[in-house]
């Protein structure tokens, strides 16, 4: 009989992959069986997906085979989709089988939050995955290709609506502003025909960012043709556009949804108590009432005590949680104290497309090219943390 504890990790994003990688360093081959389950045979850099969505980067650059990162002699990799976690039976139901665990790490990432707005799933692009953004890119190009060949509704072909002026919406529209001139040239379309809207329900764009940085970002994007509608909730997404709470209707065949995320639907389906699909974890990252289940990344809810509000879900936090999670699993397997997780926020940088970005690193505000260079350094750092220098060499971005 196999007496080694079975550690099962669900999701090969930042949180799951980093947990697996750390565990292979923390535990010897004879000390545990480690299994990683993921929908695809590759990992993708979710934080880069605004680029392939707009078509400024090929999607293959943002994804990489799992074995670029993990030694698959040390980790049993199962390519399958998680359907449900059966907590009482210590078992995970997959689309094509099931897997038993002694310790489980849930790192399945997030899904779009619609805030109850009707029509999002039916008429908007809301999947921030490799396949999701591939569809966005193809769709945008097709709008340009159709323009001269369709009699009716030509304006909505070239009207692009981004719902949400948070991190993802701003980074996406920044890339789109870079791509549009190229597409106009390619498809013989005057630049002024293209309209780009960013619609935000909150009273400011980039909530939580320093107002000076927000102003810089908005001025820059406006100068590239973006129209902001702030403090302006969307009431409904319809087949050919959006209806705003104030009654205004914007006709568009492309609505990209980026209003925030909720935890993976597997969480609620499995009966965990959750807030917007995220589990408010104990300080050691375990799900309340479950000594054997850890939650990391976007599925975990942790509170910033200073402001008594949840930390926004980020790759930065997911990567850090993975370290604590691996070390706590090691403590359970080999004996030792479990550690509490404390985020160490090093800063936040949002790209605005091209060589432009804004952000804060430490206490320093960054604008323009210096912020853009820092963004690439951060992107490369996440590669380094996941897969060391060899991954940076294979997939890294040039800072200049
Ligand atoms: P993910 O990295 O999303 O990984 C989840 C994994 O689970 C994926 O591989 C997925 O395929 C897999 N999966 C999902 N469902 C199933 C299933 N049912 N069965 C099997 N596998 C499944 N954060 C930052 O810190 N900095 C940034 O600059 C930044 N920029 C961003 C830009 C964009 C465009 C987006 C969309 C997000 C950005 N974020 C950023 C947020 C960051 O990407 C997430 O917080 C981070 O990816 C969360 O990591 P995770 O491990 O929880 O999930």
Both tokens of residue 138? 């193809």
Distance 315 CA to ligand 1 centre (A): 7
Least confident of 149-153, 202-206, 333-337: 149-153
| C-alpha 348 chain-centroid distance | 14
d(CA 396, CA 376): 8
CATH architecture classification, 120-257:
3-Layer(bba) Sandwich (3.50)
pLDDT tens digits, 330-380: 999 999 999 999 999 999 999 999 999 999 999 999 999 999 999 999 999
pLDDT of residue 399: 74
Closest CA to 249 of 126, 175, 155: 155
Q: Name the band, by pLDDT with cuts 50, 70 and 90, for residue 159.
A: very high
Least confident of 148-162, 169-183, 306-320, 353-367: 148-162
pLDDT of residue 2: 58
Distance 47 CA to ligand 1 centre (A): 7
pLDDT at 137 over 60: yes
Distance 16 CA to ligand 1 centre (A): 10
pLDDT at 154 over 90: no
d(CA 276, CA 259): 13
User: Looking at ligand 1, which residue's alpha carbon is closest to its atom 35?
Assistant: 47
Q: Ligand 1, residue 316: give the atom nearest the CA.
A: 25
pLDDT of residue 151: 79
The residue-averaged pLDDT of 89-115 equals: 98
Q: Ligand 1, residue 351: give the atom nearest the CA.
A: 28
pLDDT at 1 over 70: no
Q: Ligand 1, residue 83: give the atom nearest the CA.
A: 18
Distance 157 CA to ligand 1 centre (A): 30
Tokens 């890119």 locate to: 137
User: Looking at ligand 1, which residue's alpha carbon is closest to its atom 10?
Assistant: 11
Burial tier of 393 (Cβ tally within 10 Å: 0-12, 13-18, 19+): exposed
pLDDT tens digits, 264-302: 999 999 999 999 999 999 999 999 999 999 999 999 999
Question: What's the chain's average pLDDT?
Answer: 96
Percent of the chain with pLDDT over 90: 95
CB 35 within 8 A of CB 76: yes
Least confident of 92-96, 97-101, 206-210, 228-232: 206-210
Both tokens of residue 165? 């002026």
Distance 109 CA to ligand 1 centre (A): 5
d(CA 321, CA 328): 10
Ligand 1 test: best mutation among 10, 35, 44, 47, most atoms within 8 Å of CB? 47
pLDDT tens digits, 6-50: 999 999 999 999 999 999 999 998 999 999 999 999 999 999 999
Ligand 1 test: best mutation among 9, 13, 276, 379, most atoms within 8 Å of CB? 13
Task: List, in order, residues 6 or more apart from 307 with CB less than 8 Å away.
Answer: none
Ligand 1 test: best mutation among 8, 44, 46, most atoms within 8 Å of CB? 46
Report the predicted TM-score, pTM, of the whole model to 2 decimal places: 0.96
Q: Residues enclosing ligand 1, CB less than 6 A?
A: 11-16, 37-40, 46-47, 49-50, 81-82, 107-109, 128, 167-168, 171, 264, 266, 297-298, 313-316, 318
Tokens 């910033």 locate to: 304
Q: Name the band, by pLDDT with cuts 50, 70 and 90, for residue 230.
A: very high
> Domain coordinates of the chain in residue numbers?
6-39+80-112+262-344, 120-257
Active site residues: 171
User: Looking at ligand 1, which residue's alpha carbon is closest to its atom 30?
Assistant: 47
Burial tier of 269 (Cβ tally within 10 Å: 0-12, 13-18, 19+): middle
Buried b / exposed e over 159-185, threshold 16 CB at 10 Å, is bbbbbbbbbbbbbbbbbbbbbbeebbe
Evaluated on CA atoms 33, 38, 40, 44, the torsion sign reads negative
Distance 84 CA to ligand 1 centre (A): 19
pLDDT of residue 6: 98
Distance 51 CA to ligand 1 centre (A): 15
User: Looking at ligand 1, which residue's alpha carbon is closest to its atom 37?
Assistant: 47
Distance 11 CA to ligand 1 centre (A): 9
Q: Ligand 1, residue 50: give the atom nearest the CA.
A: 34
The residue-averaged pLDDT of 292-313 equals: 95
Closest CA to 4 of 37, 38, 36, 28: 28
Q: What is the DSSP string of 146-197?
A: HGGG-SSSHHHHTEEEEE--SHHHHHHHHHHHHHHHHHHHHTT--GGG-EEE
- Does 1.20.140.10 match the CATH number of domain 6-39+80-112+262-344? no
User: Looking at ligand 1, which residue's alpha carbon is closest to its atom 53?
Assistant: 109
User: Looking at ligand 1, which residue's alpha carbon is closest to its atom 15?
Assistant: 108
Percent of the chain with pLDDT over 70: 100
User: Looking at ligand 1, which residue's alpha carbon is closest to its atom 31?
Assistant: 47
Q: Ligand 1, residue 43: give the atom nearest the CA.
A: 9
């Amino acid at each position: 009989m196999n007496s080694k504890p079975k550690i099962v990790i669900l999701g090969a994003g930042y949180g799951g992959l980093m947990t697996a990688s750390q565990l292979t360093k923390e535990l010897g081959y004879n000390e545990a069986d480690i299994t990683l389950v993921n929908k695809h045979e590759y990992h993708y850099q979710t934080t880069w997906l605004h680029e392939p969505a707009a078509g400024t980067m090929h999607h293959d650059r943002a994804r990489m085979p799992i074995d670029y990162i993990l030694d698959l002699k040390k980790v049993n990799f199962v390519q399958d989709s998680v359907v449900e976690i059966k907590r009482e039976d210590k078992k995970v139901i997959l689309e094509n089988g099931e897997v038993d665990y002694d310790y489980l790490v849930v790192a399945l990432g997030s899904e779009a939050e619609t805030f109850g707005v009707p029509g999002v799933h039916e008429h908007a692009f809301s999947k921030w995955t490799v396949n999701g953004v591939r569809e966005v890119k193809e769709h945008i190009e097709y709008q340009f290709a159709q323009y001269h060949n369709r009699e009716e509704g030509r304006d909505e072909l070239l009207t692009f609506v981004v719902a949400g002026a948070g991190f993802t919406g701003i980074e996406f529209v920044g890339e789109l502003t870079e791509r549009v001139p190229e597409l106009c040239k390619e498809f013989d379309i005057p630049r002024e025909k293209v309209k780009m809207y960013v619609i935000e329900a909150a009273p400011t764009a980039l909530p939580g960012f320093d107002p000076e940085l927000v102003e810089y970002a908005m001025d820059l994007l406006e100068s590239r043709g973006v129209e902001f509608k702030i403090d302006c909730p969307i009431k409904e997404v319809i087949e050919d556009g959006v209806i705003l709470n104030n009654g205004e209707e914007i006709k568009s065949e492309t609505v990209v949804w980026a209003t925030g995320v909720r935890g993976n639907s597997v969480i609620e389906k499995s009966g965990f108590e959750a807030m917007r699909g995220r589990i408010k974890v104990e300080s050691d990252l375990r799900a309340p009432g479950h000594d054997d289940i850890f939650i990391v990344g976007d599925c975990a809810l942790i509170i910033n005590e200073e402001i008594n509000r949840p930390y926004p879900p980020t790759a930065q936090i997911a990567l850090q949680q993975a370290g604590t999670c691996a070390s706590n699993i090691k403590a359970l397997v080999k004996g030792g104290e479990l550690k509490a997780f404390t985020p160490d926020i090093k800063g936040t940088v949002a790209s605005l497309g091209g060589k432009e970005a804004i952000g804060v690193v430490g206490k320093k505000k960054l604008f323009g090219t210096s912020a853009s260079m820092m963004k690439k350094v951060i992107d490369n750092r996440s590669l380094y943390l996941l897969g060391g220098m060899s991954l940076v060499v294979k997939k890294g971005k040039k800072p200049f």
